Amino acid sequence: MIKYLIIPFLIALSCASVQNNKTHKSEKYRNERELFNKKVNALHFLNDYHHQMHFMIGEEEGSFIKAYNEFNEGLSSLDNDELFPVEISFQKIKNNKFISDPVIKLDYLIDYD
């Protein structure tokens, strides 16, 4: 009698385990896709605002303050933890100092060309 109860229980348990494994794989895929999208969005941001860095370090003629503000607004508008090192480095730029060491280090960080 007990074996008739154990066999259906084991079958149900194994089916639940297979379903749980499929859910886990699906969730892992979704998390990996989300991470990939964050990385792509971070690269798009760096590409779009790279020109402002050239103004801030004096490689090109232009307004440091305007470039600084544009970069700051762009960075502030995103919620992307892939840009955390860029945010920390950008926060080190004090008093809008033109061609300062923190500005040059930020350019080194994001200069991928």
Q: Which residue has the higher pLDDT, 42 or 6?
A: 42
Report residue 17 as tokens.
Answer: 């385990």
Percentage of the chain beyond pLDDT 90 is 25
pLDDT in tens, 43-70: 899 889 888 888 888 888 888 889 889 9
Rounded to a whole number of angstroms, the CA Rg of the chain reads 25
The domain limits of the chain are 2-110
Q: Is the pLDDT of residue 84 over 70?
A: yes
Nearest-angstrom CA–CA distance, 46 and 109: 10
Mean pLDDT over residues 2-15, rounded? Answer: 60
